[in-house]
Amino acid sequence: MTVFTTYQLIVEILVYSFVLVAGLCVLSIIWMYIGDKLQTKQAIRHNFPVIGRLRYTFEHWGTFFRPYFFAQDREEMPFNRAQRTWVYRAAKNLDSTTAFGSSRNLSSPGTIFFANGLYPVLDSEPSQHTTVTVGSETQHPYHCEHFFHISAMSYGAISSPAVKALSRGAKIAGSWLNTGEGGLSPYHLESGCDLIFQIGTGKFGVRDENGNLCEKKLAEIAAHPTVKMFEIKLSQGAKPGKGGILPAAKVTEEISLIRGIPQGHASISPNRFSEIEGHEDLLNLIDRVRNITGKPVGIKLCVGNPAEIESLCEAITKRGPQSAPNFMTIDSGDGGTGAAPMSLIDNVGMLVYESLPLVADILTRHGLRENVKLIASGKLINPVDVAWALCAGADFVNSARGFMFSLGCIQAMQCNKNTCPTGIATHNKRLQAGLNPIDKSQRVAQYAQNMEKEVETIAHSCGVKHPRLLNRHHARVITSNGRSKPYA
């Protein structure tokens, strides 16, 4: 065979291949055209066959491309690029300095900034660390020096590699890890970090076959030395009045065993505890859990009506301060979740910026502030947010989505679909493979450590030696006329 014949054969093969591919493409387009014209469920596809399909493609991929090509640094929701970038850099231990001035709108009403002192604390002065004791009257009180911790994220809502990374990172940083309402998994325990066990309305992990609280299982959980406290979740900021939602696709065999629910069925928690119909029932449950475990017991809630907090404190005062929850986690109405109805996530519950100082003031008026420690939660992922919470009255600050960003979350908004591209909120093994718990645990720890370091920098600027010494006189808020006034 001559060289010319060989070339001729190759050209013929390429031509035939091109004709075949082109023919298949034409047939596909004809098939899509016919299908679009015959269907009546989507008007765009019916009226604009084939081309109309691009609308749904762009709608899906727009979520991923907007943050990189179209959105400005501070205009995205729920977290903008500037907020996320600080977390990413802190988690990687990179330089967090910036240049050429602030891109934050410092004159917008409601903006918080800090009142620097005339004589800031010298960087060379030793830090004045403080330890907060929760549940000093309990059999096993909890002593904690750090103020920034990992908020509730259930195994099930997030993957096993993500839980492993959070657990190991918490151990390195000295932070606690809240288990979320999905029960206690082996991945929570393997690092030996401090844990808060959350009891949700479904009582997963501590329920009997009828869904009631099982005292034996509760005692078994409390026997773990790393389980330091118990949190009764009354409500969550993202969905007050609605229980936890774990789609059926995420209920694997292991998760069904940990939670005590059927495999492959959606895990829907009741919208409240059936045994709690008022303040007395709540205080009875707190006492019951505290007596069984011997450890501090608190409650988590999103505040809706401050008058209810007032009446709860009145009920506590009537029974005696020893009946109070040892801590209260105040979640924000714009808090996060893996799945929630938009009607609740957008429209129900007070923001932590309003509710936290209100609750702190109510507890103080009733003489309960020393008995009840305050934990702030809800979109507090940057130093300014955490420093504000300490000024407003928080003893501790929890973050869930901040630590998700430290794991590599890109805000793809796929948490409820088991398709999280970073492997954090999915049980797809292929997607989980990209999340290395050893590597990511370092980023979790560095995020927590750099957060405390940056908040300490703010405190020193305000003239106090430790962030827990910040109070409302150290913060100012922009009012509607563009002028600021003391947050106090």
The tens digit of pLDDT for each residue in 314-327 reads 999 999 999 999 99
**CA Rg value for the chain:** 26
Judge if 280 and 411 occupy the same domain.
yes
Judge if 223 and 367 occupy the same domain.
yes
Note whether residue 308 is domain-resident. Answer: yes
Whose CA is closest to 231, among 316, 336, 153, 309? 153
Residue 163, CA distances (Å) to 237, 244, 411 in order: 22, 18, 18
Largest Cα–Cα distance in the chain? 104
Judge if 38 and 141 occupy the same domain.
no
Q: Residue 416: pLDDT above 80?
A: no
Note whether residue 419 is domain-resident. Answer: yes
Q: Are 125 and 464 in contact (CB under 8 A)?
A: no
Percent of the chain with pLDDT over 90: 51
Strands (E), 171-296: 176-178, 194-199, 227-233, 245-246, 267-268
Higher pLDDT, 162 or 58: 162
**Confidence tier at 413 by pLDDT (50, 70, 90):** confident
Q: Residue 125: pLDDT above 80?
A: yes
Please write the tens of the pLDDT for every residue from 315-369.
Answer: 999 999 999 999 999 999 877 766 667 777 767 788 999 999 999 999 999 999 9
Q: Give me the chain's average pLDDT, please.
A: 87
**Given 70, 94, 121, which residue is the final one in a domain?**
70
Q: Residue 232 CA to chain centroid, in angstroms?
A: 17
Amino acid 157: pLDDT:
86
Note whether residue 403 is domain-resident. Answer: yes
Give me the number of domains the chain comprises.
Answer: 2
Whose CA is closest to 372, among 309, 327, 331? 327
| Domain with 213 in it | 132-486
Kind and range of the H or E run holding 147: none
Mean pLDDT on 182-202: 94
Higher pLDDT, 21 or 239: 21
Judge if 461 and 327 occupy the same domain.
yes
Amino acid 292: pLDDT:
97
Judge if 57 and 139 occupy the same domain.
no
**Given 51, 70, 89, which residue is the final one in a domain?**
70
Phi-psi region of 80 (alpha: psi -120 to 50; beta: other; left: phi over 0): beta
Judge if 148 and 34 occupy the same domain.
no
Mean pLDDT on 26-44: 83
Judge if 24 and 160 occupy the same domain.
no
Q: Give the range among 110-119, 127-136, 220-229, 409-418 with minimum mean pLDDT.
A: 409-418
Higher pLDDT, 241 or 186: 186
Judge if 63 and 139 occupy the same domain.
no
Amino acid 19: pLDDT:
85
Q: Residue 95: pLDDT above 90?
A: no
Q: Are 221 and 206 in contact (CB under 8 A)?
A: yes
Please write the tens of the pLDDT for every residue from 272-316.
Answer: 898 999 999 999 999 999 999 999 999 999 999 999 999 999 999
Note whether residue 100 is domain-resident. Answer: no
Amino acid 12: pLDDT:
77
Residue 253, CA distances (Å) to 415, 467, 471 in order: 20, 44, 48
* Dist CA 167 CA 395 (whole Å): 22
* Dist CA 398 CA 267 (whole Å): 25
Note whether residue 123 is domain-resident. Answer: no
Where do we find the tokens 């303040």? 279
Q: What is the CB neighbour count within 10 angstroms for residue 140?
A: 14
Q: Residue 17 CA to chain centroid, in angstroms?
A: 52
* Dist CA 119 CA 271 (whole Å): 51
Please write the tens of the pLDDT for every residue from 210-262.
Answer: 889 999 999 999 999 999 999 999 988 777 777 777 777 778 888 888 888 88
Compute, in degrees rounded to 10, the torsion defined by CA atoms 363, 365, 370, 372. -10
3-state class (DSSP) for residue 242: coil
Where do we find the tokens 């869904």? 211
Kindly report the pTM of this predicted structure. 0.85
Token representation of residue 420: 């999280």
Judge if 143 and 49 occupy the same domain.
no
* Dist CA 332 CA 343 (whole Å): 15
Whose CA is closest to 302, among 343, 359, 342? 359
* Dist CA 81 CA 10 (whole Å): 51
Please write the tens of the pLDDT for every residue from 370-402.
Answer: 999 999 998 899 999 999 999 999 999 999 999
Q: Residue 163: pLDDT above 70?
A: yes
For residue 207, the 8-state DSSP code is B
Beta bridge partners of 143: 133
Q: Which residues are within 8 A (CB) of 338 and not within 5 positions of it... i.e. 6 or more apart? A: 157, 158, 245, 246, 415, 416, 425
Higher pLDDT, 268 or 114: 114
Judge if 177 and 260 occupy the same domain.
yes
Token representation of residue 467: 């962030």
Q: Residue 64: pLDDT above 70?
A: no
CATH code, 236? 3.20.20.70
Judge if 147 and 233 occupy the same domain.
yes
Q: Are 282 and 201 in contact (CB under 8 A)?
A: no
Judge if 47 and 178 occupy the same domain.
no
Residue 377, CA distances (Å) to 91, 314, 355, 363 in order: 20, 25, 11, 18
* Dist CA 91 CA 457 (whole Å): 18
Asked whether the bond before 78 is cis by omega within 30 degrees of 0, the reply is: yes
Kind and range of the H or E run holding 59: helix 53-69
Residue 310, CA distances (Å) to 124, 238, 242, 363, 364 in order: 44, 23, 23, 8, 11
Q: What is the CB neighbour count within 10 angstroms for residue 253?
A: 9
Percent of the chain with pLDDT over 70: 92
Please write the tens of the pLDDT for every residue from 433-458.
Answer: 888 899 999 999 999 999 999 999 99
Sign (positive or negative) of CA dihedral 200, 202, 203, 205: negative
For residue 298, the 8-state DSSP code is E
**Given 70, 90, 117, which residue is the final one in a domain?**
70
Amino acid 58: pLDDT:
62
Higher pLDDT, 167 or 235: 167
